[in-house]
Structure 1
Amino acid sequence: MRMRKKTRLLPLFAALLLFLGEMHPMAYAQFNGPSVTSAAGLNEPVHITTDPAILFPAKHDLRLFPGDLVTVHLYPSSDYSPAVRVSLDGTMQLPLIGNVHVQGLTIPEAEKVIADRLISAGMYRNPQIVLQLTESPNQVATVTGDVHSVVPIVGQSRLLDVLTVAGGIPTTSSHIITIHRLGLDQPIVVDLGSDPMTSEKNNIPIFAGDTIIVARAGVIYLLGAFKNVGAIPIQQNSPFTLIKAATLAGGPGFEGKMKDLRLIRTVGENRTVVHLNIKRIINGKDPDPVLQADDIVFLPSDTMKAAIKSGGIGTILGFASLLVVATR
C-alpha cells in the first residue's frame, strides 16, 4: 500500500519540478574562448608610455603653424630681414626664393630649409639664417574627448595644469590620458591613476601643438539577480570594485546564487569568465576585485528562491497540499 502511494507521488513531484523549471528556465552559454565578434582592436590592452626620453624630453623646439608671424634674419647681410606670416597652406612667401613650406617644422628645421633654398637659388654660398617667432596664435594645446578646450601654452606647462584650465577630469572619464604630439610616431599614454602621488609622477610637460584626449571611462554591465540591473558608469576617482558596483545596483537579491557570481571579461577577441563568491567578498573573506570597462557581472538565480520571490509560493503550497492529500 505504501509503495503504491509513493508510485502515485512520482508524477506529482515531476510536475512540480517541471513547473519550477518552466518558470525560471536555466540559461546555458559559452563564455570562455573567442568572443562572438571578430572585430580587431576591440577592448585591446592599453600600453602605457614608460620611456623617460619621451615623457620628459630634455628640450622641445617650437614648431611653425599657419598664422605664425616670423621674422627671417640673414647673416652677415642686414638687408634681408622680411617679416612674413605662415599662410593657411603652411608656406611662407620669401624674397628671392618664393614659397617655402614650413608648417610643422621646428625653428632649426625651417632655418635649414630656407638656407638650402638660398644656396640652391645661387643667392648665397653659406647663409646663416635665424628665425624669430614674433607672434603666434597657435601656441595652444587642444583638449578633446570627454573635455573640450583650447588652452594657451605660456612658458612651461604641465599636463595637470592644462587639464585644470580645461575644467578638470570628470568623474566619469578615464584617468588614462592620450597625448598626440608632432614628431612622434606613437601617441604618449599616461595613467594619472587615483593616487595624487601617481598623478604627480606622470605630470608630464605639454607643448604647443599637443592634442590631449580624455576618454570616457566606460561602463560595466550587471545582470541577473541584482535588485537593479543595467549599465553602470565607472567612476575613476577611486578603484571601482565589485562591492561598489553591487551597492549601486541595490545589492544582490534574495534569489541570487551567492557562491556562483560570474565576472565576464573580454580582452581583444578572447572572453573569459571567473567564478566568485560574492557573499565571502561582502564579508571581507575574499578580495574585492577591481572592475574594468565592459566587464559583465552575472549573478544567476536559484530556481526555488526565484519561484518564491516571484509569487510562486502559493502554487508550491498548492502542490504540497496535493501531496499531503495523496499520501493519506
Structure 2
Amino acid sequence: MSENSLRLLPRPILRSAAAVLGLVTCGVFLAEPNLAAQVTAPQAPSAALDAEPPTTALMQADPLIIASGDLLQLQVFATPELSGPIRVDQFGNLNLALGGSLHVTGMTAAEASGAIEDRLKSSRIMRDPHVSVAVTQYNSQIVTVVGEVKKPGATFLYGSQSLYDVLGAAGGVTNSAGGTITISHYNDPSPPQVIPIHTPNYSAVEHTTHVRRGDTVVVSQTDVVYVIGAVNKQGAIPMPNGAPLSLLNVVSLSSGLTLIAATSKAAIVRQGPNGVIKTVNVDLKRVMQRKDPDILMEASDILVVPVSTGKYLGQLVLPSVASTSLSSVVTSLIVR
C-alpha cells in the first residue's frame, strides 16, 4: 500500500488493521465472537429502490424569472414598430421604444407581457394593446456544478434544463464519481435533493429533475475499500459510482492472493457509526469455494489477508516454489 493511501485511513483503523495482520501472521489470531453475523451476504435490492419515484413534481418546472442581461422577443399585435428583440439592461429595465423604461427583473415572461400592456395603456399610447414576451436567452440563469465532473464551475441555463442537460454541460461525470448527486436550491430552506444513482429508473429521474437558477449540483466522490497483506496489489480500491463490492470483487481487483496467503484467517476491519472498530473473521478459502456466502464490503472497510507462517517458511526452504511447477505431493505439503 502506498504511503498516500495509508494517510487516508484514520489512525484507530490503521492500528487495528496492523494488529490483526501481525497477530495472525504469528498464528495468534484473536477472534471477536458473533461478529460474522453482523456482516450479511449480498441482498436483493429493496422495494424502496425498485419503486418508481413520484415524477409529477419533477415534471413541473418552476417558471423562469427574467433578470439583467436576458434577451427578450417583444411582439405587440399589429404594431411591428414596437416589436422585436430587446435586452434587459444592467439595472433590470426594458427601454421601450414608446413608454419609457420598465423594470422587469423578477417577473416571468407572462408577467412582463402584462406590465408592458399596462404601460402602453397608462401612457395613452394604445387603447387595447396585446403584447407577448418570449425569453430567447436567459443569460442570468446560472447553476454551479462541483464535485466529480470534468468541467466544474458555473454553467449557464438557457430555458428550462434538466439534471441530464446540466451534467452534460459540465462535461459529464468522472470515473471517480460516487453514488449520489445532491441539488441545493438557492434561497430555499428545504433540505437538499439527494438523487441516488443506483436505482432502476435513474435515467428517467435524471431527465425529469429540473435544475433552477442559482442551484448548486454536487456529484459525490466514490467511496473506497482497502486491502493490505498477502495480495498482489495492496491499496485503495474505488467503488465506481457507489456500486457495492463483494469480498470476491475486492480480491479480484487486488490481482488475487499471493502464494503465502493465509486464506482461512483473513479479516475485515470495520468502523461502525458510533466509532467502534470491529473485526470480522473471514475464511477466504471457503468463500472462494462457495461454501460460505460472499460478503458485501462497506465504504472504508479494510480487508486484511495475513501471511501464512508455514507457507512463508516453505518458500525459504524451496525458493523455486513461487515460479516453478512442482509435484502435487510437494506442493500439498507446503500449502498445508
Alignment correspondent of 2:203? 200
2:60 to 58, 61, 64: 58
Alignment correspondent of 1:226? 231
Q: State yes or no: 1:213 paired with 2:253.
A: no
* Cα RMSD (Å): 5.2
| Offset from partner CA, 1:97-138 (integer Å, 9 cap, x none) | x998957x87789999x9xxxxxxxxxxxxxxx986464213
Mapping of 1:100-249 within 5 angstroms? Answer: 133=135, 135-147=137-149, 148-149=151-152, 153-154=157-158, 157-184=161-188, 185-193=190-198, 197-205=200-208, 206-209=210-213, 210-236=215-241, 239-249=244-254
- Distance of 1:293 and 1:110 partners within structure 2: 52
Percent of residue pairs bearing the same amino acid type: 23
Give the 3-state SS of the residue equivalent to 2:175 in structure 1: coil
- Distance of 1:181 and 1:58 partners within structure 2: 15
Distance change in 2, residues 1:242/1:68 (3 Å): same
- Distance of 2:314 and 2:171 partners within structure 1: 47
Please give the TM-score of this superposition, normalised by the length of structure 1.
0.56
CA apart distance, 1:295: 2.0
- Distance of 1:290 and 1:63 partners within structure 2: 47
Letter matched to residue 240 of structure 1: L
Letter matched to residue 62 of structure 1: L
| Offset from partner CA, 1:257-285 (integer Å, 9 cap, x none) | 42442242443644444333222222223
CA apart distance, 1:310: 6.8
Letter matched to residue 88 of structure 2: R
Contact 1:258-1:299 at 8 Å conserved across structures: no
1:277 to 271, 283, 286: 283
Please give the TM-score of this superposition, normalised by the length of structure 2.
0.55
Give the 3-state SS of the residue equivalent to 1:203 in structure 2: helix
Letter matched to residue 246 of structure 2: T
Distance change in 2, residues 1:131/1:161 (3 Å): closer
Distance change in 2, residues 1:64/1:223 (3 Å): farther
Query: May I ask how many residue pairs the two structures share in their alignment?
Result: 261
Letter matched to residue 255 of structure 1: A
Give the 3-state SS of the residue equivalent to 2:296 in structure 1: coil
Contact 2:227-2:235 at 8 Å conserved across structures: yes
Q: State yes or no: 1:296 paired with 2:306.
A: no
Letter matched to residue 182 of structure 1: Y
CA apart distance, 1:231: 1.4
CA apart distance, 1:152: 5.1
| Offset from partner CA, 1:58-98 (integer Å, 9 cap, x none) | 3411134553357999xxxxxxx9x77364xx866999xx9
CA apart distance, 1:217: 0.4
| Offset from partner CA, 1:146-178 (integer Å, 9 cap, x none) | 112555545554333443454333332113111
Distance change in 2, residues 1:99/1:199 (3 Å): same
- Distance of 1:263 and 1:141 partners within structure 2: 41
Letter matched to residue 256 of structure 1: A
- Unpaired stretches in structure 1, ≥5 consecutive residues: 1-19, 31-47, 74-80, 115-129, 315-328
Letter matched to residue 276 of structure 1: V
CA apart distance, 1:249: 1.5
Letter matched to residue 146 of structure 2: T
CA apart distance, 1:229: 1.6
CA apart distance, 1:216: 1.7
Give the 3-state SS of the residue equivalent to 1:137 in structure 2: coil
Letter matched to residue 169 of structure 1: V
- Distance of 2:68 and 2:272 partners within structure 1: 44
| Offset from partner CA, 1:6-39 (integer Å, 9 cap, x none) | xxxxxxxxxxxxxx99x95968899xxxxxxxxx
- Distance of 1:133 and 1:162 partners within structure 2: 19
Contact 1:55-1:188 at 8 Å conserved across structures: no
